[in-house]
Structure 1
Amino acid sequence: MSLKDRKVINIGTVSELTGLSIRQIRYYEERQLIFPERTKGGTRKYSFSDVEKLMDIANKMEDGWQSHEIRKMEEKKLKDPKLRHKMIEGQLNAAFGMKNYNYSK
């Protein structure tokens, strides 16, 4: 895993870096546009890749895109098996708080 993909940034810092409110960031997670990891205590952790993705999502929303349109576009990108694998791992982690879960084992 590259340093850019390590999930080490808390939601408050992500909010400061992106200019998005914590509520906006949580909304994007609820809409399944972003998949932070969760610590045992439930704290969300993001990577620098997530920060870039959040900025892209926010720009698209500002341009009038709907969240379901963004999600469909992301799904098309995930035809690549490696990217799909990474997204599924992120979803499992977000849903169950499973850090670094590898579903292919």
Structure 2
Amino acid sequence: MDRELSYKDKKVITIGTVCELTGLTERQIRYYEEKKLVFPERSKGKIRKYSFSDIETLIKIASMVEEGVQTFEIRQKMKKQKEKEIERKLIQGQINAHFGLRNGKR
């Protein structure tokens, strides 16, 4: 059974709108994509599509860059955060399985 994506994770926002919402330029956004910090989807016409989660990520990235953090360091921090989240989900799944729970509920 496929889970429906949260509205925050649906990739429906164009780069122009992302620029308006974040204050970043298209060039900055494409640079962060090039550095593998954000991963937009592409439409059939090759138009980048972002989610609200991507926008939040871009704002965090821009803030860290402004503070002098290098993109390599940002990528490493993001990787560690993702690993911790996966570990947390695995542990939660083990707990749920042990107690016969589904999604944390009986």
Structure 1 residue runs without a partner (length 5+): 83-105
> What TM-score, normalized by structure 1, do the two folds share?
0.75
Check if 1:52 corresponds to 2:56: yes
2:49 is paired with a residue whose SS is strand
- 1:78 is paired with a residue whose SS is helix
Specify every segment of 5 or more residues in structure 2 that has no aligned partner in the other structure, as ranges.
Answer: 88-106
CA RMSD of aligned residues (A): 1.1
**Deviation for aligned residue 1:41:** 1.2
Larger Rg: 2
Tell me which amino acid in the other structure corresponds to 2:86. Answer: P
One-letter identity of the residue aligned with 2:55: V
Q: Which structure ranks higher in relative contact order (CA pairs < 8 Å, sequence separation ≥ 6)?
A: 1
Question: SS state of the match for residue 45, structure 1?
Answer: strand
Report the count of equivalent residues.
Answer: 82
Which residue matches 2:86? 81
- 1:39 partnered with 2:36: no
- Taking the aligned partners of 1:78 and 1:56, their CA distance within structure 2 comes to 15
Identity %: 59
* TM-score (normalizing by structure 2): 0.74
Structure 1 ranges of 4+ moved more than 2 A: none
